[in-house]
Amino acid sequence: MVRTLVTSFLILIIAILSEAQVLDYSEPVRLSSSINTDGEESMPLLSPDGNTLYFVRALSSLNTGGRYAGPDIWSSSKNDQEWKKADNKKFPFNTKRNNIIAGISADGKKLYLLNSSPSNKINGIFFSKKLKDGWDKPELISIPGIDGLGCTGFYVSPESDVIFISMKGTYTWRRRFVHHFKKQIR
């Protein structure tokens, strides 16, 4: 009897406390045609200062290689309250293959990228540093053993200390990866 009362009381407390966790969202606002097109826009990331929007666009005739090539990385900057026309030409690393943005550093001076290789194998992720006149040639962050594991997605935290990987993997592979990555970022 006491056990049932205690359990009921705990359930009531949890229900009351969970009501305090309700988040209030505003209605979504559709961005103008300077960003939204007939193509497929996805994976938006906002720069730390909130003035540049990076995203991936597929099925666009303006992509490197045309409409049916892989997606490109695009960006738009804010002019007062309006977003300027998006552009993909400022990213020299856009190719005919899949080009995806996977993160932005906290200072906004480093982009993390996922680019497929000519063999369509993924050997890791890349990063590119912002220079005075554009973006530097991407450098590889090697992730051993990832090429054959059905990798589906990456995200790098702004502090660049965590990489989220959505993939099918084994316990042994995860242990090897954590050890390798800790050595590489030191």
H/E stretch holding 8: helix 2-19
94 vs 16: which has the higher pLDDT:
94
Confidence (pLDDT) at 60? 94
Please report which confidence band the pLDDT of residue 186 belongs to, taking 50, 70 and 90 as the band edges. Answer: very low
Residues paired with 140 in a beta bridge: 126
Cβ atoms of residues 143 and 126 within 8 Å: no
> Per-residue pLDDT averaged across 67-83, rounded?
91
% of the chain at pLDDT higher than 90: 39
Confidence (pLDDT) at 18? 62
Confidence (pLDDT) at 21? 58
Of 60, 109, 107, the residue nearest 85 (C-alpha) = 60
The mean predicted confidence, pLDDT, of the chain is 81
Q: Among 15-24, 88-97, 140-149, 152-161, whose mean pLDDT is lowest?
A: 15-24
Cβ atoms of residues 158 and 104 within 8 Å: yes
pLDDT in tens, 96-155: 988 899 999 999 999 999 876 555 667 788 899 999 989 999 998 887 767 655 556 788
Name the E strands within the chain. 40-46, 52-58, 72-79, 82-83, 99-104, 110-115, 124-131, 134-135, 139-142, 153-156, 163-166
Dist. CA 88–CA 73, nearest whole Å: 6
Contacting residues for 114 by C-beta, under 8 A, at least 6 apart: 98, 99, 100, 101, 102, 122, 125, 126, 154
> Per-residue pLDDT averaged across 60-87, rounded?
92
Phi and psi at 165, nearest 5°, equal -125, 125
Entry pTM: 0.74
Confidence (pLDDT) at 52? 94
